[in-house]
Structure 1
Amino acid sequence: MPPSNDLPDDRSTATLPKAVRLAWGIEEPGTRGPRKGLSLERVVDAAIEVADAEGLAGLSMSRVAKQLGFTTMSLYRYVDSKDDLVELMADRAIGQPSGLVVSGGWRDRLESWALGEYRAVRAHAWWPEVTISAPPTGPNNLAWLEAGLQSLADTGLSEDRKLQVVLNVSLFVIGRARFALDLERSAKAEQVDYARLLPLLLDEKRFPALRAAIEGGAFDAGDEDDAHWLEHDFRFGLDRMLDGIERLTGG
């Protein structure tokens, strides 16, 4: 995790939440519990492994301790609560932005940023389930925010408009990732073929528009697998957002 000197020297960090101080490496774990063979990084990595395999519902301090081969109480030397642990997990799992388009126009850059964030979030099925209760504070999440703002550097938008654009695109990304997760879970559990099911339920006179959509293939994924179809659909929505932003920039 990043060292404390990544933060401005003139800013007091004493009042920052514990999870934030831990994420930035400006607070060392306490003295309780065993030191040998255990670290904050190992605790967070083990928690991510558990969540990847069993979801957030299967995550607990005792389950993480079992994954590591330590006692549950030993983990409290490194994190104060499960909530703090989940906050650290979410920041660590999303990683640093990489492989993004940094040349060309703002639209190409912002599209690359949004698609990169979507894929990073989708890499961990539990990530979209994490409650967003405050602005991003972890080093990785803030790196994504920085990259998003940089993509709009030459738009002529005011700084507050740039932030509004990036946050709204990010909310779209996270919302679509959550939708994809729910849809995939539903498909696995019920294996419903809506293209075949809906015509059995919908009367042509009462639902003419829906019937026309079905007959026009709107509910068919074609030869694409579900993940590819979901990303294709995500990009359609993203393009429409970018169209609106383009009008905002006067481009």
Structure 2
Amino acid sequence: MHTDNTSEAAGQARELPVVVQRLWGDATPRRRGPKPALSVAQIVDAAMTLADTEGLAAVSMARVAEAVGYTPMALYRHVSGKDELLILMSDAVAADLPDVPADAGWRAGLEAWTRAQIDLALTRRWMLELPISAVPPGPNRVRWIDQAFGVLRDVHLPADEKLAIVGLLAQHVLGEARVHVETHRAAVQKVRHDAGLPDSTPETELDPAAVEAADPYADFETVLGRYAGPTEYPHLFASFAAWTGPAVGSPGDDDISFGITVVLDGIEAYLRRRGAIGDATS
């Protein structure tokens, strides 16, 4: 374990990358003279708008420069390049996450915290294409982590275990959102192909019912029930032989809620085993 003096010395010796300093508003002081007409915030906002409308692949320094009405060279005075721009976008989009209710218990709070991220990823799908492993924590992401710690305030665990729980839920967010985005994208592409439409055809021009029916997983259970015979697939057959379809109001009616519920059930079992919570689950 590091002592306070050792940690302080290490912190003083390590110079943080410029992009991290920029994320936290700790960049090099401005030169003397009039305030620049172009700002990092404007550049990031334009890049996010471009990603919303055309996808992350459309984001380039040239396209963003065109959107803000400047030359690409002007952008490089504020952002070192596309890699830094993506990092700035990753933190900026986290500002769209809503506040978790202050009076929420640990379970309801974590459920809201997790669901909000999935909903945001389904709205701004380009988030899933960002280089997440290379993204340092910025103020908006840390604010969101702070909210998770807020709902865990009465859970008796050390900070590192709370952070591990937050990380587990973040991984679930990525997996759940990616499955929904990719299956929807495949369904949209199939409808375009079947109708003989070009790939550039906007989704708004497609029949929503046809897109829903084209979901690659739409008939998954039906296929298993019909073709998983007792000889080749005895365990599937035994389970589906008496299956008549999902019950009305069952968790399966909402795959996202079902997944969050199962993950939180596991977390609750862990917290009880650690003696971190009482009898109440809220």
Matches within 5 A, 1:108-119: 108-119=108-119
Report the counterpart of residue 226 of structure 1 in structure 2.
none
Asked if 1:239 is matched to 2:261, the reply is yes
Asked if 1:173 is matched to 2:170, the reply is no
Within 2, Cα distance between the matches of 1:98 and 1:242?
20
SS at match of 1:133: helix
Q: CA deviation at 1:183?
A: 1.3
Within 2, Cα distance between the matches of 1:18 and 1:53?
29
Report the counterpart of residue 103 of structure 2 in structure 1.
103
Structure 2-normalised TM-score? Answer: 0.70
- Compared with structure 1, are the counterparts of its residues 180 and 35 closer, same or farther at alpha carbon in structure 2 (3 Å cutoff)? farther
Report the counterpart of residue 38 of structure 1 in structure 2.
38
SS at match of 2:125: coil
Count of matched residue positions in the alignment of Structure 1 and Structure 2 = 229
Asked if 1:203 is matched to 2:190, the reply is no
Within 2, Cα distance between the matches of 1:118 and 1:14?
35
SS at match of 1:249: helix
Structure 1-normalised TM-score? Answer: 0.78
Report the counterpart of residue 5 of structure 2 in structure 1.
none
Matches within 5 A, 1:212-223: 212=240, 216-217=244-245
Name the Cα RMSD after superposition.
3.3
Q: CA deviation at 1:37?
A: 3.1
Within 1, Cα distance between the matches of 2:190 and 2:19?
39
Report the counterpart of residue 270 of structure 2 in structure 1.
248
Q: CA deviation at 1:116?
A: 2.0
Within 2, Cα distance between the matches of 1:79 and 1:100?
32
SS at match of 2:144: helix
- Compared with structure 1, are the counterparts of its residues 88 and 29 closer, same or farther at alpha carbon in structure 2 (3 Å cutoff)? farther
Within 2, Cα distance between the matches of 1:238 and 1:17?
35
CA offset digits 1:13-43 (Å, max 9, x no partner): 9811121111111115877xx9753111111
Q: CA deviation at 1:57?
A: 1.1
- Compared with structure 1, are the counterparts of its residues 27 and 12 closer, same or farther at alpha carbon in structure 2 (3 Å cutoff)? farther
Report the counterpart of residue 184 of structure 1 in structure 2.
184
**Contact persistence 1:107–1:242 (CA under 8 A):** yes
**Contact persistence 1:29–1:78 (CA under 8 A):** no
Within 2, Cα distance between the matches of 1:99 and 1:246?
23
Report the counterpart of residue 77 of structure 1 in structure 2.
77
Between 139-148 and 183-192, the greater mean CA deviation after superposition: 183-192
Within 2, Cα distance between the matches of 1:58 and 1:182?
18
Give percent identity, aligned residues only.
36
Report the counterpart of residue 160 of structure 2 in structure 1.
160
Within 2, Cα distance between the matches of 1:204 and 1:96?
45
